[in-house]
Amino acid sequence: MAKTANNQQEFSKVFKAALECKYHGMSVDNLLRVIYATPNPEVAMELMLGIHEEPVINQVVVDSNNRKLTFISFNAFEGQVTYSYQQNKSVHIYVSKDVNVAEITSENYQEYKKSWGDNTTGHNVTLPEMETVHSTMTLSAWEKCQKWHAPQVREFDCSIED
């Protein structure tokens, strides 16, 4: 349901009554002003009333690109998950336009590297070294990712019988 000005006024009345019960005899108008100034007044109100519950978030998931994402933190006000993942480092170089870029590898890219100019084109080279990348996504997008399961390690009995 979309929040209209009338809905906000009704919520404001309910929130004000709830806050007045929680903070006996205190004027809560300033608290309401602060709550409505936050990016997510509903979460702010729940926090002020002591009823906010953080969502249960999978700590490690796999996204649609088959990357293993590791949970770092959740911002309830913005509904954003901060996470990290590992990826190969890459370097952007310029090469002559007549070069077959399929021949460029992480081992030989320095030989092809040129300064930018009219007869060059840009090319990204994937390196074998890994780096950690940090990013964010909405909680709903995070929940659409598949829960990651560690690979099963099989144990074999290698005993030799006489």
- Name beta bridge partners: 90: 126
Give domain status of residue 54, yes or no.
Answer: no
**Higher pLDDT residue, 46 or 161?**
46
Give domain status of residue 153, yes or no.
Answer: no
Q: How many domains does the chain have?
A: 2
* Least trusted range by pLDDT, from 3-7, 32-36, 63-67: 3-7
**Higher pLDDT residue, 34 or 149?**
34
* Least trusted range by pLDDT, from 35-39, 83-87, 114-118, 152-156: 152-156
Give domain status of residue 161, yes or no.
Answer: no
Per-residue pLDDT tens digits for 76-124: 999 999 999 999 999 999 999 999 999 999 999 999 999 998 899 999 9
User: Do 142 and 64 share a structural domain?
Assistant: yes
**Higher pLDDT residue, 20 or 129?**
129
User: Do 77 and 16 share a structural domain?
Assistant: no
User: Do 68 and 137 share a structural domain?
Assistant: yes
User: Do 78 and 130 share a structural domain?
Assistant: yes
Report the pLDDT value the prediction gives residue 109, as an integer from 0 to 100.
Answer: 95
Whether residue 57 has pLDDT greater than 60: yes
User: Do 92 and 137 share a structural domain?
Assistant: yes
- If you average pLDDT over every residue of the chain, what do you get? 88
User: Do 84 and 36 share a structural domain?
Assistant: no
User: Do 74 and 33 share a structural domain?
Assistant: no
Report the pLDDT value the prediction gives residue 100, as an integer from 0 to 100.
Answer: 94
Give domain status of residue 55, yes or no.
Answer: no
Q: For residue 131, what are the domain limits?
A: 60-147
Whether residue 1 has pLDDT greater than 60: no
User: Do 131 and 99 share a structural domain?
Assistant: yes
Give domain status of residue 155, yes or no.
Answer: no
User: Do 90 and 119 share a structural domain?
Assistant: yes
The whole model's pTM is what?
Answer: 0.72
Q: How far apart are CA 116 and CA 95, in angstroms?
A: 8
User: Do 96 and 37 share a structural domain?
Assistant: no
User: Do 137 and 84 share a structural domain?
Assistant: yes
Average pLDDT over residues 127-141: 96
DSSP string, the chain: ----HHHHHHHHHHHHHHHHHHSTT---HHHHHHHHHSS-HHHHHHHHHT---PPP--SEEE-TT--EEEEEEEETTTTEEEEEEEEEEEEEEEEETTS-GGG--TTTHHHH-B---TTEEEEEEEEEEEEEEEEEEEHHHHHHSEEP-PPPPPP-------
